[in-house]
Structure 1
Amino acid sequence: MNDLSIFFLSRQILALYCPPQIVRGFFVEREMSVIIGLCNPKSPTNVGGVMRAAGCYQACAVRYSGERYDRAVKFQTDTKNIQSKIPLTAMVEITQDLPSEIKIVCVELAEGATPLPEFIHPEKALYVFGPEDGSIPQEIVNQASEVVYIPTIGCMNLAASVNVLLYDRLAKSKLDIDHSQRILSSRDVKNRLKFKRADQPAT
């Protein structure tokens, strides 16, 4: 059973035992089926950072190919224990077992790539990233619906690139977010900071 099958099975199980409004609320930001694909990642720290990003931006799964990560399997950067909530799955081929409606989007410094600020994200996507010390294989690029690049000077590390890509997707989305509640639910319990604009009326 692949990671997407587990995801949809969990929804069916929740539907049996939870009120509809709870099920809708839990899955509302995951309906777009955002999957992160890592080609032969090397650094456990970077994979941990990717898992943290996946949790923050509510990707539904992370998959990876190659054997280097498995040889350095114990990572400590995932301080929120995101792997217990988001599947991290080893794949022989990073694009295997994808439903037809999921578009493959490679994030790479490739000739002909679309600048990320100009890119319109598909509703459902597998975002593929190359390794820290290499590039996405050409055969995977050939399968892609789109190739995008992040127009920085030089290249960022793997985890930073995933964070920027997912933030761009969030910033361009039309999700109805209660920002006050999002701040309260995301911040540290010791954080009591408030900001009042100079032109804001007194309450």
Structure 2
Amino acid sequence: MRGYFGIGVEGISKPMNMGSLIRSGHAFGASFAFTVDANYKVREARSDTSKTPKNIPWYDWDNLEDMILPRHCQLVGVELVDEAIDLPSFTHPRCAAYVLGPERGTLSEAMLDKCDHIIRVPTHFCLNVQIAGAVVMYDRMQSFGKFEDRPVMPGGNPRRKRKAISPSE
């Protein structure tokens, strides 16, 4: 697959959430992880059992002005705002950095302004940051992956005919 993606958060405060998010990112093939204005020592996230910071580049930026993304990398904000594109309708950029907001908060206005795209997981209320990130990364993988089409019939395979069962059987 061509391209890459990074996963990160702005203003996160709970090590368990960050650890779970970056572990999921590592599992989905993230090329880098990052924080902007994190409110704790991110590398202490014990829930990251895959040791992500030892396996992919990790960036801790103190503020938005310090954030430097690779050339041609599009910043995609994940936030429940009216102007956001619902995830199933979004075409993922080939090179992207996905940024999520903090627990009990939202992405800052400055971060939203910096984003090339703003998407949302179409739910009735916000999800845990790790769950939202995993849904976005799964959608990216599904969009770019070389997977077979899903069956057209529930439980069925469109390529294989099934023998009809008569009522007497």
Q: TM-score, normalised by structure 1?
A: 0.67
Distance 1:152 1:97, change over 3 A: same
**Residue 169 (str. 1) matches residue 149 (str. 2):** no
For residue 174 of structure 1, report the CA deviation from its aligned partner: 3.8
Moved more, 122-131 or 76-85: 76-85
Q: Answer 1 or 2: which has greater strand percent.
A: 2
For residue 135 of structure 1, report the CA deviation from its aligned partner: 0.6
Partner of 1:87: 57
For residue 87 of structure 1, report the CA deviation from its aligned partner: 2.5
The AA in structure 2 aligned to 1:82 is T
- What does the per-residue CA deviation read over 1:104-130, in whole Å, with 9 as the maximum and x for residues that have no partner? 111001121100000000000111110
For residue 100 of structure 1, report the CA deviation from its aligned partner: 3.4
- What does the per-residue CA deviation read over 1:165-189, in whole Å, with 9 as the maximum and x for residues that have no partner? 0000001114479xxxxxxxxxxxx
The AA in structure 2 aligned to 1:160 is I
- Note the 1:123-138 alignment, pairs <5 A: 123-138=94-109
Match of 1:121 among 89, 92, 96: 92
**Residue 160 (str. 1) matches residue 149 (str. 2):** no
Distance 1:170 1:73, change over 3 A: closer
Q: TM-score, normalised by structure 2?
A: 0.79
For residue 88 of structure 1, report the CA deviation from its aligned partner: 2.6
Which one scores higher on RCO, CA 8 angstroms, separation ≥ 6? 2
Percent of pairs with identical residues: 26
Distance 1:121 1:156, change over 3 A: same
* Helix, strand or coil at the partner of 1:68: coil
Q: In the alignment, is the contact (CA less than 8 A) between 1:40 and 1:69 conserved in 2?
A: no
* Unaligned stretches of 5+ residues in structure 2: 149-161, 163-169
Q: Answer 1 or 2: which has greater helix percent.
A: 1
* Unaligned stretches of 5+ residues in structure 1: 1-28, 178-198
**Residue 108 (str. 1) matches residue 98 (str. 2):** no
Partner of 1:76: 46
Q: In the alignment, is the contact (CA less than 8 A) between 1:52 and 1:80 conserved in 2?
A: yes
Counterpart CA distance in 1 for 2:119 and 2:59 is 24
Match of 2:5 among 24, 34, 54: 34
Match of 1:46 among 8, 13, 17: 17
The AA in structure 2 aligned to 1:87 is P
**Residue 57 (str. 1) matches residue 42 (str. 2):** no
Moved more, 150-159 or 76-85: 76-85
For residue 161 of structure 1, report the CA deviation from its aligned partner: 0.8
Counterpart CA distance in 2 for 1:73 and 1:120 is 32
Q: In the alignment, is the contact (CA less than 8 A) between 2:6 and 2:98 conserved in 1?
A: yes
Counterpart CA distance in 2 for 1:146 and 1:105 is 5
* Helix, strand or coil at the partner of 2:44: coil
The AA in structure 2 aligned to 1:122 is P
